[in-house]
Chain A
Amino acid sequence: MSSAISELQQEASHAHIHPPPQGFIAKYVISFDHKVIAVQYFITAGLFFVLAGLLAELLRAQLTQPHNTLLSAQTFDEAYSIHGTAMVWLVIIPVLTGGFGNLAMPLMIGARDVAFPWLNMFSFWLFPPAGILVFLSFLYGAPRAGWTEYPPVSMETTGTALWCAGVFLIGVSSTITGINFMVTIIKMRAPGMTWTRMPLFVWATLVTAFLSAIATANLSAALAGLFNQKVFGVPFYDPAHGGSAVLWQHVFWFYSHPAVYIMILPAFGIISEILPTFVRRPIFGYKAIAYSSVAIGLVSFMVWAHHMFTSGLAQWVQLPFMILTMAVAIPTGIKIFSWVATLWRGKIRLSTPLLFTLGFLACFTFGGVTGVMLASVPADIHEHATYFVVAHLHYVLFGGSVFGIFAGLYYWWPKMTGRLLDERLGKWHFWTMFLAFNATFLPMHWLGLLGMQRRVSYYDSQFHSSDLLSFVAGTNLFVSISAFVLGASMLIFAYNALRSAKAGKVAGPNPWGARTLEWMTSSPPPYYNFAEIPIVLSGPYDYGKPLPYANISQDLATEPVA
């Protein structure tokens, strides 16, 4: 054993410490430090989250009555299009990859930084202009075809060009980050950290990075085509000149279905870290969780056409897509069962990160089940254009991704800032958010099954029976009020976050008693992360055994239980 350690020691001694940057700009603006870049992502995406959330509240305000005149039909279309675009590309993807990936991944693998710090900086600085372009499109007539921007409707608005440019930039940013993270994880793991000793969040980030690097180039191509058609009249998607509108759907979804997993795999990773920490047990089925992420990543390239069952695909094409889509439930189910089994007979501490994790498990599983329903072609054709789909995707992206994001924020906040968020406020935040979320999106399932169409600002003409109309209107009013409460619940988090800067308890290096490497250095970590590159001797989740690290300074290598 000792000779193995000395060999690893030699490997670790290659890396040296660069001097920290001086001056405000080098430290906080044009920063090469992955931890600072992570905070930049969080702040920027947080601003877009507020804007996109306000758009959602506007939509719900319009739908409080069957024939409301608050928004014109056109403004309503613009609002839901930009709401979806911003939430997907300017909030969830940047937070989960650029935010959490940058914050935690290099620390978890015991590296000093990512492989290409300059590219990391560059990648971040593509993000604010991208968001500004997307929101600027409101000035010129924002796109009105939803976040998917199907032509020919997307060709009717001037803002489509700006929308394309903005999403293209964020796509390039995502590609660069993906390449950077893959090289970092493959090449820069601490000595002794074999593949099966990697924390599960790192596994999730690796698969996500692969998807970002491979699939996003395809989005760039699709967007370049759409941009050229809008600006130069090049008829890629125009049937009048031999193009095809369905072609856009193919190329768009060939990216955007993997993107769905870009939006959920890191959240899987986050809760795989939180669960063992708060139940003090080794994670159940480490390899099953790790390899099922890889399986999900691979299958994600073969299911895109399930978004297109209503666009006239041949039946023999629909069938394999339906079966493969349903097959995604298998690796995902393996994960869900592993997480639940981790909870079994654990010493559960119901701290805020675990509460959000449990909220994730409940909501995401529900969204997964309706996902299998929608994968079935006959059911999908019935429900495709209805609120059932809206409910499903919010259970997956809000109940899944956003709950995962908040779980991660509560979990890593002390590592990021050095101070803990207040637990009591955190619990208030969780319960208001959890209840309001379900009150908002659960009724949408039956609204959809009753035939309420999505993306429509009036629904009075659609329901002819007055009983039915009054039921639908009442349910919509309830949904809208819940949505306002859901929005308000975010204020609790904002207050908690701001308050923690002054009044938050000082966290110390390892407030949760976790065992992964990011907790084996001070909070917040120094510029160089680790004074010496740590050495890894076994996997990260063996609760009850001594810590598996060498080269960690002794006062940090503790495993206290808060």
Chain B
Amino acid sequence: MATHALQVSDAEYQEVRSHRLLGFLFFLISDSILFCSFIFSYLYDRSASPMWPPAGVERPGLYLAAVNSIVLFGSGVTMHLAMEAWRHANRTRFTQYIIATIVLGIGFLSGQAYEYTHLHDTWWGSVFGASFFTLTGMHGFHVFIGVCFLITVLLQARNGVYDQNRYFGLTAATLYWHFVDVIWVALFFLFYVY
């Protein structure tokens, strides 16, 4: 039931937009509870364990993760710049920044794939590995969804689905991307630093 933005009156669009924005915010809250629940589980197991990571399990490498974090936070910056470009009606810049964000997102996923395949053979079958793969995997899945979301937004922008004042899909994609960034801060701290 996607309402084509250009077919409805301004008042009606604003009303529908406010519903969708609120609904999307509730969705993000609900989604963050999903992460919180697994983070709680991780901390619970960790506090119950005499040593952490458990015996025979090596700590994940900080180096790759740090590079990957910079890639992801960089994508947050380009996303913000894309939004600014849109607000200033600079479509070329907007397209460039969105593409940059997509590329950085894919870069992050590639880094994660490399980490998964190369590093931690000892993790399978331990609760440390279970938490690590579940949380970072779930986050990676969110990044993947975010990339798909951005590609959709880019195509929709090019097909004229949005106009200068009506761009809820773009707003939602931005919120989602920053949300995924913030989740990563927590995960990075939990698994690589703490």
B164 at the interface (CB under 8 A from A): no
B128 touches A254 (CB 8 A): no
Q: Which of B25-33, B74-82, B85-93, B154-162 contacts A (4 or more CB under 8 A)?
A: B25-33
Of B22, B23, B34, B54, which one neighbours A242 at CB under 8 angstroms?
A: B54
With a cutoff of 8 Å between Cβ atoms, the chain B residues found around residue A250 in the complex are: 40, 44
B45–chain A nearest beta-carbon distance, Å? 6
How distant is the Cα of A132 from the Cα of B40 in the complex, in angstroms? 32
Q: Which of B11-19, B97-105, B172-180 contacts A (4 or more CB under 8 A)?
A: B11-19
How distant is the Cα of A234 from the Cα of B131 in the complex, in angstroms? 9
With a cutoff of 8 Å between Cβ atoms, the chain A residues found around residue B41 in the complex are: 221, 225, 236, 247, 251
B26 touches A182 (CB 8 A): yes
B193 at the interface (CB under 8 A from A): no
A137–chain B nearest beta-carbon distance, Å? 24
With a cutoff of 8 Å between Cβ atoms, the chain B residues found around residue A186 in the complex are: 22
B110 at the interface (CB under 8 A from A): no
B192 at the interface (CB under 8 A from A): no
A-B contact pairs, 9 of them (CB 8 A): A14-B11, A183-B26, A217-B33, A220-B34, A221-B37, A221-B41, A225-B41, A234-B133, A235-B130
Interface of B: prevailing SS: helix
A179 touches B1 (CB 8 A): no
B19 touches A213 (CB 8 A): no
A217 touches B48 (CB 8 A): no
Among all A-B residue pairs, the 8 with the closest Cβ atoms: A221-B37, A242-B127, A217-B33, A179-B26, A218-B37, A234-B130, A243-B127, A118-B1
B134 touches A217 (CB 8 A): no
B26 touches A213 (CB 8 A): yes
B23 touches A254 (CB 8 A): no
Given the known interface contacts A243-B130, A247-B45, the answer about A179 and B12 at a Cβ–Cβ threshold of 8 Å is: no
Given the known interface contacts A115-B23, A217-B37, the answer about A14 and B30 at a Cβ–Cβ threshold of 8 Å is: no
Count of chain A to chain B residue pairs whose CB atoms are closer than 8 Å in the complex: 98
In residues 204-227 of chain A, which contact B (Cβ within 8 Å)? 213-218, 220-222, 224-225
Residue of A nearest to B27 (CB): A179
In residues 49-68 of chain B, which contact A (Cβ within 8 Å)? 49, 54
In residues 169-205 of chain A, which contact B (Cβ within 8 Å)? 175, 178-180, 182-183, 186-188
With a cutoff of 8 Å between Cβ atoms, the chain A residues found around residue B134 in the complex are: 224-225, 228, 234
The 8 A CB mask of B121-163 against A (1 = contact, 0 = none) is 0000111101101100000000000000000000000000000
Of A117, A179, A244, A251, which one neighbours B37 at CB under 8 angstroms?
A: A251
How distant is the Cα of A549 from the Cα of B29 in the complex, in angstroms? 36
Given the known interface contacts A214-B30, A225-B41, the answer about A179 and B125 at a Cβ–Cβ threshold of 8 Å is: no
B136–chain A nearest beta-carbon distance, Å? 14
Residue of B nearest to A210 (CB): B26
A183–chain B nearest beta-carbon distance, Å? 5
With a cutoff of 8 Å between Cβ atoms, the chain B residues found around residue A234 in the complex are: 130, 133-134
A221 touches B38 (CB 8 A): yes
Given the known interface contacts A187-B19, A244-B45, the answer about A218 and B26 at a Cβ–Cβ threshold of 8 Å is: no
Q: Give the interface residue-count category, chain A.
A: 35 or more
A214 touches B29 (CB 8 A): yes
B1 touches A251 (CB 8 A): no
How distant is the Cα of A310 from the Cα of B123 in the complex, in angstroms? 33
B192–chain A nearest beta-carbon distance, Å? 19
Given the known interface contacts A175-B30, A217-B34, A218-B37, the answer about A236 and B44 at a Cβ–Cβ threshold of 8 Å is: no
How distant is the Cα of A117 from the Cα of B2 in the complex, in angstroms? 11
A475–chain B nearest beta-carbon distance, Å? 42
Residue of B nearest to A233 (CB): B125
A32 at the interface (CB under 8 A from B): yes
With a cutoff of 8 Å between Cβ atoms, the chain A residues found around residue B45 in the complex are: 236, 242-244, 247
A536–chain B nearest beta-carbon distance, Å? 18
With a cutoff of 8 Å between Cβ atoms, the chain A residues found around residue B133 in the complex are: 234
Of B1, B23, B48, B127, which one neighbours A241 at CB under 8 angstroms?
A: B127
With a cutoff of 8 Å between Cβ atoms, the chain A residues found around residue B40 in the complex are: 250-251
With a cutoff of 8 Å between Cβ atoms, the chain B residues found around residue A221 in the complex are: 33-34, 37-38, 41
B26 touches A254 (CB 8 A): no
Given the known interface contacts A118-B1, A234-B130, the answer about A247 and B44 at a Cβ–Cβ threshold of 8 Å is: yes
Residue of A nearest to B14 (CB): A14
Residue of B nearest to A255 (CB): B37
A458 at the interface (CB under 8 A from B): no
B19 touches A183 (CB 8 A): yes
B179–chain A nearest beta-carbon distance, Å? 14
How distant is the Cα of A235 from the Cα of B123 in the complex, in angstroms? 11
Residue of A nearest to B24 (CB): A179
Residue of B nearest to A221 (CB): B37
How distant is the Cα of A179 from the Cα of B24 in the complex, in angstroms? 9
How distant is the Cα of A228 from the Cα of B31 in the complex, in angstroms? 19
A410–chain B nearest beta-carbon distance, Å? 33
B127 touches A235 (CB 8 A): yes
With a cutoff of 8 Å between Cβ atoms, the chain B residues found around residue A188 in the complex are: 19
With a cutoff of 8 Å between Cβ atoms, the chain B residues found around residue A235 in the complex are: 125-127, 130
Other A-B pairs, 20, CB within 8 Å; known A178-B26, A251-B40: A14-B11, A32-B1, A182-B22, A186-B22, A187-B22, A214-B30, A214-B33, A217-B30, A217-B34, A218-B34, A218-B37, A221-B34, A222-B37, A225-B38, A225-B134, A236-B41, A236-B45, A238-B127, A241-B127, A251-B37
